[in-house]
Amino acid sequence: MKTTSADVVIVGAGAIGCATAYFLSRKGVKVAVVEKDSIGERASGTATGILNPMVLDETKTESLLPLTWKSFQMHEALSKELKETTGIDCHFRKSTQLILAFSEREADELRSLVKLNQEIGIKVSWLDKQSVLNIEDRISHKLKGAIYCEDGANIESYRYVLALAQAAEKMGAEIHYGNVVGLRKTRNKVTGVKMSSREIISQSTVLAMGPWTSMASSWLDFPIPVGPERGQIVKIQASSPSLTSTIFSGNHYVTYKAHEGLIYTGTTHEQVGFDDSTTIEGRDTIITGLLNILPSSIEAQVVTQTACLRPLTADGLPIIGEFPFQSNAYLATGHWSKGILLSPITALIITELILKGKTSYSINSFDPARFVKYG
pLDDT at 275 over 60: yes
Mean pLDDT of 88-109: 97
The structure's pTM equals 0.96
pLDDT of residue 197: 87
Mean pLDDT of 261-285: 97
pLDDT of residue 1: 74
Say if residue 76 is exposed, middle or buried (CB neighbours under 10 Å; 0-12, 13-18, 19+).
middle
CB 214 within 8 A of CB 331: no
Pairing between β-strand 2-11 and β-strand 31-35 as defined by DSSP bridges: parallel
pLDDT at 88 over 60: yes
Mean pLDDT of 347-358: 98
pLDDT of residue 248: 98
Mean pLDDT of 289-311: 94
Rounded Cα distance, 273 and 354, in Å: 33
Task: Name the H helices within the chain.
Answer: 15-25, 43-46, 61-86, 104-119, 129-135, 157-170, 216-220, 280-293, 339-356
Mean pLDDT of 344-364: 98
Rounded Cα distance, 138 and 204, in Å: 52
At 56, which helix (H) or strand (E)?
none
Phi-psi region of 172 (alpha: psi -120 to 50; beta: other; left: phi over 0): left
Rounded Cα distance, 370 and 301, in Å: 46
Phi-psi region of 261 (alpha: psi -120 to 50; beta: other; left: phi over 0): left
Domain boundaries, the chain: 2-47+158-225+315-374, 94-151+228-313
Per the prediction, the chain carries an average pLDDT of 95
Q: Which fold has domain 94-151+228-313?
A: D-Amino Acid Oxidase; Chain A, domain 2 (3.30.9)
Kindly provide the b/e burial profile for residues 235-267, where b requires at least 16 CB atoms within 10 angstroms of the residue's own CB.
Answer: bbebeeeebebbbbbeebbbbbbeeeebbbbbb
pLDDT of residue 371: 86
CB 349 within 8 A of CB 320: yes
Contacts of 59 (CB under 8 A, 6+ apart): none
Instruction: Say what percent of the chain tops pLDDT 90.
Output: 90
pLDDT at 345 over 60: yes
pLDDT at 263 over 50: yes
Confidence of residue 300 (pLDDT cuts 50, 70, 90): confident
Mean pLDDT of 216-244: 91
Contacts of 332 (CB under 8 A, 6+ apart): 16, 17, 20, 206, 207, 208, 318, 319, 320, 346, 350
Closest by Cα among 21, 165, 167 to 85: 167
Confidence of residue 259 (pLDDT cuts 50, 70, 90): confident
Rounded Cα distance, 62 and 45, in Å: 29
Rounded Cα distance, 114 and 51, in Å: 18
Mean pLDDT of 316-333: 95
pLDDT of residue 373: 57
Count of beta carbons in the 10 Å neighbourhood of residue 3: 10
2-47+158-225+315-374 maps to CATH 3.40.800.10: no
Across the chain, how many H-helices and E-strands are there? Answer: 9, 19
Contacts of 250 (CB under 8 A, 6+ apart): 289
pLDDT of residue 375: 47
Equal CATH topology for 2-47+158-225+315-374 and 94-151+228-313: no
Mean pLDDT of 90-112: 97
Say if residue 338 is exposed, middle or buried (CB neighbours under 10 Å; 0-12, 13-18, 19+).
buried
Rounded Cα distance, 92 and 206, in Å: 27
